[in-house]
Structure 1
Amino acid sequence: MTLPSASPTRAQTPDKESVPFHEPAADGYPLGGFTWRHALPDTRRPVVIINAATSVRCRHYSRFAAYLFANGFDVLTYDYRGVGESRPSSMKGLKASWTDWGALDFEAMLKRAQREFPGQPIDVIGHSFGGCAAGLGASGQVIRRLVTVGAQFAYWRDYAPEHRLRMFGKWHVLMPLLTLFCGYFPGKRLGWLEDTPAGVVRDWSTPTPRYEGRPSGRKLLARDGRLPFAEVRAKALAISIGDDPYGTVAATERLLGYFSQAEKTHLRIEPQDIGEQEVGHFAFFRSAYQATLWPIALTWLQTGELASDTPGRKIPRSQAL
């Protein structure tokens, strides 16, 4: 797949207002990230956790984090195990799955936010798989507001029809084959993604429409007898972009269906709605969209509502799968 906006930009350097941190995941794995914290605590000020896309470094979201900080939020960004600030010395043999990224790594960020910002509301931004991770933490009931962008868990039939066969070959055939050969997916050398743990690749490439059909989803269901998505009772805004081949209406609605107790709004934006020819899967968080797309997420975090002049259209809940 060769789309101009099909891959993340080179990782940005967090600005001088951010501070690096290390936090053990729920199982003790060391995670790295960055905090944007205002000098004086204020229980009225929300703290936002940003969940990255699969194998995209948290530094990709640094400018967006700084934008939220400048608009009155405290912010946490972090890398899942195996990626960026949380990468071990060797990727071979690393046990990490999508469920680990949500149930262990994201859960640790929820706990950190409660500890480091006591009494403050907790909001979440989830990009791509990061929106799914937002439903996998056991403490999901503490999330006040949730914004997802292009969020889904890669069911191949939900990919945009014009890209579906090529994407299936790339992500569901070639990626697992290279992972089998290397012990992990060497995405960085290919210029596709950051290097990706083998367990994450197994989850991504398994062709099932149900999250509990993914290898680590099955284990989570077998262990607890349930998936924790229903713990999230947040006001949730799902943003999908018209030319995003991953985050189609079907893919977005498939994931939204798991958030059974959340108050859900699905906003579909075509590039032409904001005067652009293309946006794609990754560009939302680039500073070029600070004036057009970022205020949508900001307003939702501030008010739990869409502004009257918000571009795009709401997808009726009757289209839910």
Structure 2
Amino acid sequence: MDNEAVSITTADGGSIAARLFPAAEARALVLLHPATAVTQGYYEHFARWLAGLGLHVLTYDYRGTGASRGASLHACTVTMADWMNEDVGAVTRWAAERFPALPLLAVGHSVGGHAIALSEDSERLRAAVLVASHAGTSRLIQGRRERLRVRFVMRVLTPLLCALFGYMPGRRIGLGEDLPASVMRQWSRWTSRPRYFFDDPTMHAERRMRRQRLPLLVLGFDDDPWANPDAIGMLVAPLANARVERRQIAPKDAGVPAIGHMGFFRKRCAAVLWPQIGDWLLERAA
């Protein structure tokens, strides 16, 4: 079955471009929340694979990115917090209204996992998977070279390029998709703080996370310098009332040369790693 283009409206009047990958006889619907500067097309193979298991899958682009970019990034004032607070809630509510008889599940990649942990609409979910989600403070990045590179991008390039272009030209400098300046500036501030967005008093992150009670599968990979065990631990520590299951995976155990922060959703991981999520989701759907 082919996918369906969907337009979802946020509570503040914004527009989100999404795609629904239908299953022949759906047992649940999976929301796939993307990483920063990653568009929904990156997850298409994984979405189609899940649909083959009997799960509807909804992919989408955060506002200011991909098909939700809009006419001009210069005029876009959406923030990373807006993605978590508004965009994720909007797609969750849309799915619950469109398929009221189906259990709702979610997979969040990096910031998509943050959103699951923070969103009050996660109460509508039966269970969720966090893939390479971590507290993104730069001090916890493994490897001195990578830590210095990220600090240079966030503290030097971000203010310079956002002032020069009016947005973050990620494509030009090999950082994925272009992003609104408001997203990059907030992200930059969080990375410079010892406890990431937990040190942002406007986020109320710990209080919001303590409300979550759903089952969570949290995946980390040994060759990911960002979402390393310490950074993942900082993110999930406030989820004291959720049922958290952590798995740390080495590339050699998956039969692949590398996984890193982005590799789980590549087709080379389909044979060994994707069934770990697929089986877990199907068990919760039942």
Give the structure-2-normalised TM-score. 0.92
Match of 2:199 in 1: 213
Find out whether 1:135 has 2:109 as its counterpart. no
Asked if 1:38 corresponds to 2:23, the answer is: yes
Residue equivalent to 1:173: 156
1:256 paired with 2:228, answer no
Secondary structure of the 1:187 match is: coil
Q: Distance in 1 between matches of 2:181 and 2:81?
A: 13
Q: Quote the residue 1:241 is aligned against.
A: 221
* Secondary structure class of the residue paired with 1:62: helix
Gapped runs of 5+ residues in structure 2?
none
- When residues 195 and 135 of structure 1 are mapped into structure 2, their CA distance, relative to the original with a 3 A threshold, is same
Paired letter, 1:287? K
| 2:178 pairs with 1:195 | yes
Deviation track 1:72-91 (CA, whole Å, cap 9, x = no partner) reads 10111111000111111110
CA shift for structure 1 position 137: 2.2
Letter in 2 for 1:59: G
State how far apart, in whole Å, the 1-side matches of 2:63 and 2:117 are: 18
Aligned residue number for residue 298 of structure 1: 278
8 Å contact from structure 1 (residues 142, 232) kept in 2: no
Q: Tell me the equivalent position of 1:23.
A: 8
Could you tell me how far 1:174 is from its partner in structure 2?
A: 1.7
2-structure distance, mates of 1:213, 1:167: 19
Provide Cα deviations, 1:216-270, integer angstroms capped at 9, x if missing partner.
Answer: xx3344xxx9753233221111101111111111111111123232100111111
Q: Does 1:281 align with 2:255?
A: no
1:93 aligns with 2:75: yes
CA-based RMSD = 1.9
**Superposed displacement of residue 279, structure 1:** 1.5
Which residue identity is paired with 1:143? Answer: L
Residues 105 and 126 of structure 2 are in contact (CA less than 8 Å); yes or no, is this contact kept in structure 1? yes
Cα contact 2:32–2:58 (8 A) shared by 1: yes
- Contact 2:210 2:239 survives alignment (8 Å): yes
Q: Which of 86, 92, 107 is matched with 1:110 structurally?
A: 92
Query: CA 1:139/1:167 → structure 2, altered by over 3 Å: closer, same or farther?
Result: same
Residue from 147, 154, 157 that aligns with 2:136: 154
State the distance in 1 between where 2:117 and 2:71 align: 29
**After TM superposition, which residue ranges in structure 1, 4 or more long, deviate above 6 angstroms?**
none
Percentage of identical aligned residues:
32
Q: Unmatched 5+ residue regions in structure 1?
A: 1-15, 305-321
Per-residue displacement from partner, 1:47-71 (whole Å, max 9, x unpaired)?
Answer: 1000000010011101100000000
Q: Is the 8 A contact 1:271 1:278 kept in 2?
A: yes
- Distance in 2 (alpha carbons) for counterparts of 1:257 and 1:177: 34
**Which residue number corresponds to residue 11 of structure 1?**
none
Q: SS where residue 117 of structure 2 aligns?
A: coil
Matched, 1:122 2:104: yes
Cα distance between partner residues in 2 of 1:144 and 1:280 = 28
Give the 3-state SS of the residue equivalent to 1:139 in structure 2. Answer: helix
How far is the alpha carbon of 1:21 from its aligned partner?
A: 0.5
Asked if the contact 2:80/2:186 (under 8 Å) is kept, the reply is yes
Per-residue CA deviations over 1:171-215 (Å, capped at 9, x if unaligned) read: 33322321132221010122321011122112221111141434x
Amino acid at match of 2:197: Y
Q: 1:244 is aligned with what amino acid?
A: D
- SS of residue matched to 1:47: strand
Q: Give the superposition deviation at 1:39.
A: 5.3
In 1, Cα distance between the equivalents of 2:130 and 2:45?
A: 17
Q: Residue 172 and residue 154 in structure 1: after superposition, are their counterparts in 2 closer, same or farther (change >3 A)?
A: farther
| Pick aligned residue for 2:248 from 265, 268, 290 | 268
Paired residue secondary structure (1:107): helix
Conserved 8 A contact 1:96-1:199: yes
Which whole-Å deviations, capped at 9, do the CAs of 1:7-41 have from their partners, x for residues lacking one?
A: xxxxxxxxx6211110101211011010012356x
